[in-house]
């Protein structure tokens, strides 16, 4: 069952729980995510990055995700993760994505505001929710070092929301993509942001965070956590260690491990909500 992402994230923040957003690039991982989610009565997001779209094809990955959501009868939506330009965001919306992220965090502030506002105008006119990012996460998607991290500042985050009209905002508060060693949330900054922002907050790079940090962040308004690295590691490691000559059987072993990862995060993020 398709969900209204903006509404579900608002409900999560108000209800003291969070929604898991799980990245995929192929059929096998998508099937594993959906199978895990079918054991819970909570909403999830299934995310594709521009690199996943380049790998699988936009229509192909859209069809895979939406077909599996329907086949498993889960509460879910497909979400574009880290769209870096208007063109990829527009293509995703036009093909049927109901939730998108525009990531202009590495642009100068005024340019980020301008481009994000353009995305919001196009998306909202079509009933699509928009996530954006303010502050810079020092590790890009996949964990590659992109430069110096820049923490999100409360007043700037609030101003950014007021100027753009986004539905949720991803913040940089010590979280990093790729699960690097030592990843830890700066709760002082996160609390300051939460005190001045009334829309759902989003945490990228959640694979390296402890359960305690995740629970603490939920208590401060983080309503969406992105999980990518732990899914990739679980899937790839199982296949590498498989003794099966038939790649379908090896893939099935990888899918079982992905199911475990997704189920673990759904249980953690739902905070007892069933």
Q: Report how far Cα 160 is from the mean position of its chain's Cα atoms.
A: 20
DSSP at 151: -
Long-range contacts of 118-124 (CB under 8 A, 24+ apart): 118/86, 119/83, 119/86, 119/89, 120/164, 120/165, 120/166, 122/86, 122/89, 122/90, 122/93, 123/89, 123/93, 124/165
* Residue 31: C-alpha distances to residues 100, 140, 212, 272 (Å): 21, 26, 29, 24
Given 81, 167, 213, 228, the catalytic residue: 81
The residue with tokens 């409360």 is: 154
Q: Which two tokens stand for residue 210?
A: 């402890």
Q: 78 with 65: CB under 8 angstroms?
A: yes
Selection from 227, 226, 149 nearest residue 189 by Cα: 149
- Catalytic site includes residue 81: yes
Q: Rounded distance, CA 162 to CA 12, Å?
A: 21
| Active-site residue list | 81
């Amino acid at each position: 069952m398709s969900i209204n992402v903006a509404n579900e994230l608002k409900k999560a923040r108000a209800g003291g729980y969070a929604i898991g957003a799980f990245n995929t690039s192929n059929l096998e991982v998508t099937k594993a995510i959906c199978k895990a989610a079918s054991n819970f009565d909570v909403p999830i997001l299934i995310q594709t990055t521009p690199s996943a779209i380049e790998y699988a094809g936009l229509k192909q990955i859209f069809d895979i995700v939406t077909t599996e959501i329907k086949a498993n009868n889960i509460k879910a939506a497909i979400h574009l993760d880290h769209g870096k330009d208007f063109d990829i965001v527009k293509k995703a919306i036009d093909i049927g994505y109901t939730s998108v992220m525009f990531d202009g965090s590495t642009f100068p502030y005024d340019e980020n505001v301008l481009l994000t506002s353009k995305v919001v105008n196009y998306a909202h006119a079509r009933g699509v929710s928009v996530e954006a990012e303010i502050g810079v996460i020092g590790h890009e998607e996949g964990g590659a070092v992109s430069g110096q991290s820049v923490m999100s500042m409360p007043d700037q985050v609030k101003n950014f929301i007021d100027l753009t009209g986004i539905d949720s905002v991803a913040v940089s508060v010590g979280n990093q993509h790729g699960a690097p060693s030592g990843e830890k949330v700066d709760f002082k900054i996160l609390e300051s942001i939460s005190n001045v922002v009334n829309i759902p907050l989003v945490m990228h790079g959640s694979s390296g965070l402890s359960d305690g940090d995740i629970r603490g962040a939920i208590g401060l308004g983080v309503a969406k956590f992105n999980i990518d690295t732990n899914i990739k590691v679980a899937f790839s490691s199982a296949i590498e260690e498989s003794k099966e000559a038939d790649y379908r059987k090896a893939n099935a072993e990888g899918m079982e491990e992905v199911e475990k990862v997704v189920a673990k995060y759904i249980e953690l993020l739902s905070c007892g909500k069933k």
